[in-house]
């Protein structure tokens, strides 16, 4: 289907499955991916930057927002062995792969659910929300994901966002400041910037 993107809710494009291994903060993790999901050939460099700096406590509740095949959620579950991780994505294939990758890595403290933004976690609050935003889905979607984070963070919670500088990272950082009252740039590398808002 020529008009499908990685954020298509029900992708139909068929493609070969791939498998790769990445080491995140000392944890060796395995992933399967397929056509129709974001960065299916390798760990995205923005996601790598996010994972290098994500502060996750051992019993934190974490939301992997726009999880794709699930790399952030799987890694977060390792960093929070006594916590709980929820992975959400609008794309059903991404959610199916994230579920598969949770099993592949024998993660028991996480679940993956299909969700438009925070829909499936209404009323829930998290210590950490991590987002590599779906820039191609449009600024309105990305702004909504930032704005609505305010209602889903616990006191002391952190909202992380990584984006390419040339795709408007600085403006997204400003959006975070407006929505959450604080923002800082925690890392910058290879054309990406990582921001965190602490509430």
Ligand X SMILES: C[S@@+](CC[C@H](N)C(=O)[O-])C[C@H]1O[C@@H](n2cnc3c(N)ncnc32)[C@H](O)[C@@H]1O
How many Cβ atoms are within 10 Å of 12's Cβ, its own excluded? 10
- Helix 71-79 vs helix 92-104: crossing angle, to nearest 10: 40
104 burial level (CB within 10 Å; 0-12, 13-18, 19+): middle
Q: Map residues 88-127 to x or -, x wherever contact with ligand X holds by CB under 6 A.
A: xxxx--x--------------------xxx----------
d(CA 84, CA 66): 17
d(CA 184, CA 4): 34
49: its two tokens: 């930057």
Site residues (CB under 6 A) for ligand X, limited to 39-78: 39, 44, 47, 66-68, 71-72
Nearer Cβ to ligand X, position 156 or 188? 188
Does 149 interact with ligand X (rule: CB under 6 A)?
no
Q: Judged by CB under 6 A, which of 11, 36, 83, 134 binds ligand X?
A: 134
60: its two tokens: 């934190």
Does 173 interact with ligand X (rule: CB under 6 A)?
no
CB of 8 vs ligand X, minimal distance in Å: 8
Using CB under 6 A as the criterion, which residues of the chain lie in contact with ligand X when the complex forms? 6-7, 38-39, 44, 47, 66-68, 71-72, 88-91, 94, 115-117, 132, 134, 137, 141
């Amino acid at each position: 289907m020529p008009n499908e993107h990685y954020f298509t809710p029900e992708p139909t494009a068929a493609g070969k499955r791939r498998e790769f291994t990445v080491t995140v903060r000392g944890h060796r993790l395995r992933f399967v991916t397929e056509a129709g999901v974001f960065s299916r050939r390798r760990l995205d460099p923005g996601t790598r930057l996010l994972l290098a700096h994500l502060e996750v406590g051992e019993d934190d509740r974490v939301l992997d927002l726009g999880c794709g095949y699930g790399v952030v959620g799987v890694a977060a579950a390792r960093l929070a062995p006594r916590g709980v991780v929820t992975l959400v994505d609008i794309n059903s294939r991404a959610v199916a792969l994230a579920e598969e990758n949770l099993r592949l890595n024998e993660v028991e403290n996480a679940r993956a659910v299909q969700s438009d933004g925070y829909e499936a976690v209404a009323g829930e609050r998290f210590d950490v929300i991590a987002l590599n935003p779906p820039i191609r889905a449009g600024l309105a979607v990305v702004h909504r994901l930032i704005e609505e984070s305010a209602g889903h963070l616990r006191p002391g919670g952190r909202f992380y966002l990584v984006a390419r500088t040339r795709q408007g990272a600085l403006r997204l950082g400003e959006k975070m400041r407006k929505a959450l009252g604080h923002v800082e740039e925690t890392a910058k590398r290879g054309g990406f910037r990582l921001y965190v808002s602490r509430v």
